[in-house]
């Protein structure tokens, strides 16, 4: 069944509870981490703002040089629904790997940007992968990839690094609306244009792909109950807009002043009573 998640939540009275992650004007509240560079070094003005969107551009690069990059939001989250739009545009950097063509994504349950080492290629995280297509390509979008992590489906650990969703095939440079629902270490669901296309459970640290990380951070088998959100720069220009987040963890006591119907995970310490 096809439905609009935003409309569903609006009908339930939650529209005013969505948190704007991006102000449409600048990168306040976000921090850059580019492989091979120190935290906060926005080499080549990789991440910038244009026309109300966060833009990934390489027009100031002479070569890509494996500068895989991420733009992290300042706050970590555990139970939430993330909504955004993306579009992949322009031409890929010529010295970049073929798999990164028309490829980007958003990382969830990521390690903190401060804990990523200078030469680390990928943050230990779970990626909701964004893909477009040209020519004979027929790749779905909102797949899941697991740099330094593991996931489960139907009770079994997934052996592949990336697992395809059931989304339709997108081509061209049009905007695509996607959502990720994260319920701590229990379950993650991916949505494209309001339709669920993927579900997995028990995200945890483990596996390979991420390199040159701090061994103290990669505790294999540790469940990922919370983490940071990071927009990906993977050698192909991409844009992001309308980044919003609906908290699903909070005070679930209906007698409290800050009770919200959308909460699915209790946080009793957050409850506020009285006038």
Which tens digits make up the pLDDT trace of 29-57? 999 999 999 999 999 999 999 999 999 99
Tell me, which fold does domain 5-270 have in CATH? Answer: Jelly Rolls (2.60.120)
Residue 233 pairs in a beta bridge with: 69
User: Is the pTM for the entire model greater than 0.85?
Assistant: yes
- Long-range contacts at 138-142 (CB < 8 A, ≥ 24 apart): 138/169, 139/164, 139/169, 140/164, 140/165, 140/166, 140/167, 140/168, 140/169, 140/197, 141/165, 141/167, 141/170, 141/176, 141/178, 141/192, 142/167, 142/178, 142/190, 142/191, 142/192, 142/197, 142/198
Residue 204 burial (C-beta neighbours within 10 Å; 0-12, 13-18, 19+): buried
The span from the CA of 106 to the CA of 242, in Å, is 14
Quick one: which H or E segment has residue 7? Answer: helix 5-11
Handedness of CA 156, 159, 161, 167 (dihedral sign): negative
Residue 156 pairs in a beta bridge with: 153
The span from the CA of 35 to the CA of 52, in Å, is 26
Is the Cβ–Cβ distance between 204 and 64 less than 8 Å?
A: no
Taking only the tens of pLDDT, the chain with its 275 residues reads 444 454 455 444 456 799 999 999 999 999 999 999 999 999 999 999 999 999 999 999 999 999 999 999 999 999 999 999 999 999 999 999 999 999 999 999 999 999 999 999 999 999 999 999 999 999 999 999 999 999 999 999 999 999 999 999 999 999 999 999 999 999 999 999 999 999 999 999 999 999 999 999 999 999 999 999 999 999 999 999 999 999 999 999 999 999 999 999 999 999 999 87
Calculate the alpha carbon distances from 223 to 116, 187, 204, 210, 266 in Å. Answer: 19, 11, 4, 17, 19
Note the pLDDT of residue 1.
Answer: 41
Structure tokens at 102: 């028309």
Domain ranges of the chain: 5-270
Note the pLDDT of residue 3.
Answer: 46
Note the pLDDT of residue 274.
Answer: 83
pLDDT tens-digit map of 117-153: 999 999 999 999 999 999 999 999 999 999 999 999 9
**% helix / strand / coil in the chain, to the nearest 5?**
10, 40, 55
């Amino acid at each position: 069944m096809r439905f609009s998640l935003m409309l569903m939540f609006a009908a339930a009275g939650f529209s005013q509870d969505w948190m704007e992650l991006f102000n449409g004007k600048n990168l306040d509240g976000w921090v850059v981490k580019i492989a091979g560079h120190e935290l906060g070094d926005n080499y080549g003005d990789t991440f910038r703002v244009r026309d109300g969107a966060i833009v990934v551009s390489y027009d100031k690069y002479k070569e890509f040089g494996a500068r895989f990059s991420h733009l992290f939001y300042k706050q970590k989250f555990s139970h939430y629904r993330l909504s955004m739009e993306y579009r992949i545009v322009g031409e890929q950097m010529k010295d970049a790997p073929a798999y990164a063509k028309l490829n980007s994504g958003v990382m969830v349950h990521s390690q903190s940007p401060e804990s990523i080492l200078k030469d680390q290629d990928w943050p230990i995280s779970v990626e909701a992968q964004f893909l477009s297509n040209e020519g004979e390509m027929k790749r779905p979008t909102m797949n899941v990839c697991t740099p330094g992590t593991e996931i489960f489906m139907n009770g079994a650990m997934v052996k592949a690094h990336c697992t395809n969703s059931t989304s339709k095939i997108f081509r061209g440079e049009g905007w695509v609306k996607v959502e990720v629902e994260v319920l701590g270490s229990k379950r993650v669901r991916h949505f494209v244009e309001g339709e669920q296309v993927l579900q997995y459970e028990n995200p945890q640290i483990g596996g390979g792909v991420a390199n040159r990380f701090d061994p103290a951070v990669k505790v294999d088998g540790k469940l990922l109950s919370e983490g940071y959100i990071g927009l990906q720069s993977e050698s192909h220009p991409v844009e992001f807009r309308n980044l919003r987040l609906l908290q699903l963890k909070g005070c679930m006591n209906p007698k409290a002043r800050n009770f919200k119907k959308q909460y699915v995970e209790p946080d009793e310490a957050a409850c506020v009573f009285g006038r």
